[in-house]
């Protein structure tokens, strides 16, 4: 009887950790193991068995380990994730035949893009999307039909991250971060969007829980009309990712930004939130993107107008963006590039930039050397651990410089983009870089390295 009950408890643990959202957080593995151990000990005590009969703690943790990432193997996990997503695609009542074909096509594109080395990432992405499509799951604030559309967009972004845009929002920093995350760690991006859509909450890899109000989950004006012919609008999945990503930083912060001529306010964690209000035509003409930083005296309470700061954007430095990336992916890695600045709009973005994720170059020669290291996939050491340089690399440029030469006050100035590729110099042909710009596909460019260095000037 006791053995049967213990086996039943271990089955519960197996069930819990097999869920993709749980498996993504190793802390919950241990919590489940401790829970199982406690319950097993209680059963043993009730039966009058001596402590440690059998060695229940070792057994529970061994059982837990058997369904954790290392033991399943990438091939098993790949098959499980793909099969589950295929099953829910077949059974979802809100998918017509064309939508099913598009989902399956994007699954194939993602598999081809990630290759065999990315099989585990792909499987976890499939599992996250399957949670959103599963008609048996609690649908959350959006409902199953909207969740179904959102799942299609997550798969689209994962398959084609170069199509991700920021739209009429000053979110180039987190949009570039979104591109990079979907490019390298699509399951991390997918998990955040799915968790927020289903629960209104998201637990970062450092254990902090952010909340996203239901009003901010609904499609904004751009998401309702996406896609359009100019292809510059932001889709619904990107809307949720970008709002959540900014909140990953601000909801953990205890100091509000300085905006609207107000000084900073000191508050408790969880009291600051980034939101986006509907944009009217009058607001759009005035360059108001509807972005606000709201704060309250108590966590969890709704904002009042007097507590909302009208902002020109998310108010994030590159340091902040590196922190957000680590909170989403759990990765400490070199992912950004900067150059020293005098006091200027750019210096504010890099002020106090001490995060090792940001590598600084002082001149064009150092820029060229850095790009070559990334192109070769050289190793580096960060905080005692070894990593490998890889594209995309996030960089801040000045759109007022050639060849962009932007003059209008809304778009000119500091702008964040991704370097997604590099071609070494060949004979009289200069070294070139490929830039992914979240303004839209017509702004994705190839630049000579000298041109990029000029763009990085203040």
Task: Write down the pLDDT at residue 349.
Answer: 55
Q: Regarding predicted confidence, which is higher, 230 or 154? A: 154
Give the residue from 243, 237, 240 showing the smallest Cα distance to 150.
237
3-state class of 347 per DSSP? helix
Task: Summarize the confidence of residues 183-195 as an average pLDDT.
Answer: 98
pTM of the shown model: 0.81
Asked if residue 392 has a cis previous peptide bond (ω within 30° of 0), the answer is yes
| Residue-wise pLDDT tens digits, 50-88 | 444 444 444 444 334 333 334 345 555 556 899 999 999
- Alpha-carbon span 419 to 257, nearest angstrom: 29
Task: Write down the pLDDT at residue 53.
Answer: 40
Using only C-alpha atoms, the chain has a radius of gyration, in whole angstroms, of: 24
Q: Regarding predicted confidence, which is higher, 141 or 347? A: 141
Element (H, E) at 368: helix 364-376
DSSP 52-115: TSS-HHHHHHHHHHHTSHHHH-HHHHHHHHHHHHHHHHHH-TT--HHHHHHHHHHHHHHHHHHT
Q: Regarding predicted confidence, which is higher, 240 or 405? A: 240
Q: How confident is the model at residue 20 (pLDDT cuts 50, 70, 90)?
A: very low
Give the residue from 215, 235, 217 showing the smallest Cα distance to 225.
235
Lowest mean pLDDT segment, chosen from 135-149, 150-164, 294-308? 294-308
Domain spans in the chain, listed from the N-terminal domain onward: 2-72, 81-159, 169-329, 332-455
Task: Summarize the confidence of residues 4-10 as an average pLDDT.
Answer: 44
Q: Regarding predicted confidence, which is higher, 198 or 301? A: 198
Instruction: Give buried/exposed letters for 78-111 (b at 16+ CB in 10 A, else e).
Output: bebbbebbbebbeebebbeeebeebbeebbeebb
Residue 378 falls in which region: left (phi positive, over 0), alpha (psi -120 to 50) or beta: beta
Q: Are 206 and 214 in contact (CB under 8 A)?
A: no
Beta-bridge partner residues of 448: 432
Average pLDDT of the chain? Answer: 82
- Alpha-carbon span 57 to 330, nearest angstrom: 28
Q: Regarding predicted confidence, which is higher, 434 or 256? A: 434
Task: Summarize the confidence of residues 407-430 as an average pLDDT.
Answer: 88
| Residue-wise pLDDT tens digits, 94-106 | 999 999 999 999 9
Here the tokens at position 296 are 């309250």
């Amino acid at each position: 009887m006791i053995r049967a009950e213990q086996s039943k408890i271990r089955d519960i643990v197996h069930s819990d950790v097999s869920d993709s959202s749980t498996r993504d957080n190793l802390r919950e593995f241990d919590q489940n193991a401790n829970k199982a151990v406690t319950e097993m000990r209680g059963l043993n005590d009730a039966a009058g068995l001596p402590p440690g009969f059998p060695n229940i703690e070792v057994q529970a943790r061994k059982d837990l380990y058997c369904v954790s990432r290392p033991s399943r193997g990438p091939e098993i996990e790949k098959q499980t994730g793909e099969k589950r997503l295929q099953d829910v695609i077949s059974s979802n009542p809100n998918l017509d035949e064309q939508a099913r074909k598009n989902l399956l096509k994007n699954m194939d594109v993602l598999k081809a893009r990630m290759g065999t080395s990315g099989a585990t990432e792909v499987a976890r992405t499939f599992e996250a999307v399957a949670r959103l499509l599963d008609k048996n799951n609690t649908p959350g604030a959006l409902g199953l039909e909207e969740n179904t559309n959102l799942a299609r967009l997550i798969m689209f972004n994962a398959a084609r991250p170069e199509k991700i845009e920021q739209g009429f929002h000053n979110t180039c920093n987190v949009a570039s971060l979104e591109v990079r995350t979907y490019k390298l760690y699509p399951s991390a991006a997918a998990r955040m969007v799915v968790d927020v859509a289903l629960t209104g909450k998201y637990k970062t890899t450092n254990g902090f829980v952010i909340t996203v109000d239901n009003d901010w989950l609904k499609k904004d004006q751009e998401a309702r009309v996406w896609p359009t012919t100019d292809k510059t609008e932001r889709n619904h999945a990107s809307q949720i990712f970008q709002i959540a990503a900014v909140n990953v930083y601000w909801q953990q912060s205890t100091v509000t930004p300085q905006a609207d001529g107000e000084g900073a306010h000191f508050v408790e964690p969880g009291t600051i939130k980034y939101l986006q209000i509907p944009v009217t035509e009058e607001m759009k003409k005035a360059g108001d993107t509807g972005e606000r930083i709201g704060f309250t005296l108590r966590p969890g309470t709704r904002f009042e107008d007097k507590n909302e700061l009208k902002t020109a954007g998310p108010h994030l430095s590159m340091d902040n963006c590196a922190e957000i990336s680590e909170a989403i992916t759990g990765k400490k890695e070199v992912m950004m590039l900067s150059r020293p600045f005098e006091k200027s709009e750019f210096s504010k973005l890099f002020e106090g930039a001490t995060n090792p994720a940001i590598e600084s170059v002082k001149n064009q020669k150092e820029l060229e050397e850095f790009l070559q290291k990334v192109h070769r996939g050289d190793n580096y050491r960060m905080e005692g651990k070894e990593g490998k340089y890889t594209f995309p690399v996030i960089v801040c440029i000045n759109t007022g410089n050639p060849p962009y030469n932007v003059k209008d006050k809304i778009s000119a100035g500091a702008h964040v983009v991704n370097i997604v590729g590099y071609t070494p110099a060949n004979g009289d042909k200069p070294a070139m870089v490929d830039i992914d710009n979240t303004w839209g596909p017509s702004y994705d460019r190839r630049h000579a390295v000298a041109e990029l260095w000029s763009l990085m000037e203040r």
